[in-house]
Amino acid sequence: MGSMTTELPVPYLTVMLNSLEILGQFMYPARAYGRLLDLLRSGLLDISPIRPLVYPLPALPDAMEAAATAGNLECVVVQP
Amino acid sequence: MKAWRLAGLGGQLTLREVPIPEPRPGSVLVRIHASALMSYLKRYVQGALPMYSPPPGEFTPGTNGVGVVEEVGRDVWHVKRGQRVLLSSHFVARENVEDPAQVLIALTSFGASAAPVLADWPDGTLAEYALMPIEAVTPAEGLHEAEPRILARRWRRSTACVGRAGSC
């Protein structure tokens, strides 16, 4: 999961000696969102540390700039 | 409705007035409340990510979002008008075949068999409304209500399976 455009160097001996497996995973099951919402509803997942950075629809160019440099706990959203 | 339109990767990105899409079978029209931006959206729009295979021609970008169902197409049975929903861009062809095509709506297809899927679902959430296949829509109501009993029941059921592989 996740997206990046750089190569991922692998410490070969560490992987081999520990019988590690490296698996790629494209996206997630369709019900994953629903199960995530269950965690929110139950109070088991606290997403309050995530700060939304809100832009109006016409400000998409600024929002894209902000998204490119946003931190892990910032979520850039555009609201029509 | 107002919608951002991208004339292909590296092309012009303009906010324009376009017709509100008509619901198709197996889809819902969603009034967008918020569209979450990917960190690499700007580079994608600029055409700096050559590994992506976008929809053909001009399209509305925008991936995951949240909104309210405005209209329901036929062949949709659970999701209702007025429901708050989460939208995922991940769409898997619904045919019961070995390796169904997968796309990220309004972003990219994967492989030759997926290109026609993306051509059928080219437009995303950076607009006032988005038409989405129902498979990419998750009801998102009651988010502020604690429902620990439901979760505890599921948890018990899942832990009861430990050590009995294949039995549940």
Structural domains in chain B?
Answer: 2-160 (3.90.180.10)
In-domain check, residue A2: no
Instruction: State the smallest CA–CA distance between residue A13 and chain B in angstroms.
Output: 30
What is the distance between the alpha carbons of residues B129 and B102, in angstroms, rounded to a whole number?
23
Which amino acid type is present at position B76? V
**B140–chain A nearest CA distance, Å:** 7
Asked if the C-beta of B48 comes within 8 angstroms of chain A's C-beta atoms, the answer is no
- CA torsion A30-A34-A39-A45 (nearest 10°) is 70
Return the pLDDT at B107.
97
The number of beta carbons lying within 10 Å of the beta carbon of residue B109 is 24
Give the pLDDT of residue B148.
47
In a domain, A7, yes or no: no
Yes or no: say if B24 and B73 are a contact pair by the CB < 8 Å rule. yes
Q: A-chain residues within 8 Å CB-CB of B84? A: none
Give me the sign of the Cα torsion angle A32, A35, A40, A43: negative
Within 8 A of A65 by CB-CB distance, chain B residues are 42
B139 secondary structure, DSSP code: E
Task: Name the residue facing B147 among A26, A41, A63 (closest C-beta).
Answer: A41
pLDDT tens figures, B107-138: 999 988 999 999 999 999 999 999 999 999 99
In a domain, A3, yes or no: no
Sign of CA dihedral A60, A64, A67, A69: negative
Find which of B29, B39, B91 to mutate to test the A interface (most A CBs within 10 Å of its CB).
B39
pLDDT value of residue B153: 56
In a domain, A20, yes or no: yes
Residue ranges, chain A, pLDDT below 70: 1-2
Q: Is residue A37 part of a domain?
A: yes
Determine, yes or no, domain membership for A6.
no
Report the C-alpha gap between B53 and B109 in whole angstroms: 6
What distance in Å separates residue A60's CA from the closest CA in chain B?
Answer: 9
List, for chain B, all residue ranges whose pLDDT scores fall below the cut of 70. 144-168
In a domain, A50, yes or no: yes
- The pLDDT value recorded for residue A71 is 92
If you average pLDDT over every residue of chain A, what do you get?
Answer: 91
Short-list B1, B68, B63, B3, CA closest to B33? B68
What is the interface size between A and B, counted as CB pairs within 8 Å? 101
Token reading at A73: 């706990």
Q: Does A34 sit within 8 Å of B139, measured CB to CB?
A: yes
A74 bridge partner residues:
A51
| Nearest of B18, B24, B22, B23 to residue B4 by alpha carbon | B18
Query: What is the strand order of the sheet B108-109 is part of?
Result: B90-92, B102-104, B108-109
Q: What is the pLDDT of residue B166?
A: 44
- Of B37, B90, B148, nearest to A78 by CB-CB distance is B37
Least Cα separation, residue A76 to chain B (angstroms):
6
For chain B, give the number of residues. Answer: 168
Structure tokens at B158: 């899942």
Q: What does the pLDDT read at residue B145? A: 44
Considering only CB atoms, which chain B residues are within 8 Å of A62?
none
Among residues of chain A, what percentage have pLDDT more than 70? 98
What is the reported pTM? 0.85
C-alpha B74/C-alpha B155 separation (Å) is 35
Give the count of domains, chain A.
1
Q: Tell me, yes or no, whether A61 lies in a domain.
A: yes
Q: Tokens for B113, please give them.
A: 């068999």
Domain range spanning residue A21? 12-79
- Per-residue tokens: B67: 């909104």
